[in-house]
Amino acid sequence: MMVKLKINILCLLCIVLAAAGVQAQYPDYKFEYITMEDGLSQSSVNCTIQDSTGFLWFGTQSGLNRYDGYEFRVFKHNPFDSNSITDNWVQVMLETEPNVLWLGTWSEGLNRFDTVNKKITRFIHTPGNRKG
């Protein structure tokens, strides 16, 4: 009976120490709510990534938002600027190499975004055209 009690106490001690070690291994994370009042262009976020330089990118129904931890920079479609994104409704994002984001938009195709030079290359699908 005494041996069983010692084994139970030892197991309990191991569990407590293991839990304490796991908690010490991970830092406390702080979560912040980011809203339109903070500069987010729209409250519905379709996709988000953190790029290799640390910026957070949010694809919304009202443009692409870059967040540096302090403020937002919003990239929107401008029909008079061929260097703007093709559509404000950003559905998906992917970083394939440092400083290069690929953006899939709702209705106007794919965009390659050079985040350093702020240059957009558009890839628009033309129905019936097998090459584009």
Give the pLDDT mean for 3-15: 57
Residue 132 lies in a domain: no
> Does residue 129 surpass a pLDDT of 90?
no
Residue 129 lies in a domain: no
> Does residue 46 surpass a pLDDT of 80?
yes
pLDDT (tens digit per residue) in 79-95? 999 889 999 999 999 99
**Structural domain of 117:** 36-123
**Position 127 confidence tier, pLDDT thresholds 50, 70, 90:** confident
- pLDDT for residue 53: 93
Residue 56 lies in a domain: yes
Residue 86 lies in a domain: yes
Domains in the chain: how many in total? 1
The position carrying tokens 């290799």 is 52
pLDDT (tens digit per residue) in 93-110? 999 999 999 999 988 789
Residue 15 lies in a domain: no
> Does residue 66 surpass a pLDDT of 60?
yes
Choose among 84, 47, 51: nearest CA to 68.
51
Q: Can you point out the beta strands (E) in 29-130? A: 45-50, 56-60, 63-67, 72-75, 90-97, 100-105, 110-114, 119-123
Residue 74 lies in a domain: yes
Residue 53 lies in a domain: yes
Instruction: Give the C-alpha separation, 107 to 124, whole Å.
Output: 9
Residue 71 lies in a domain: yes
Coil, strand or helix at 131: coil
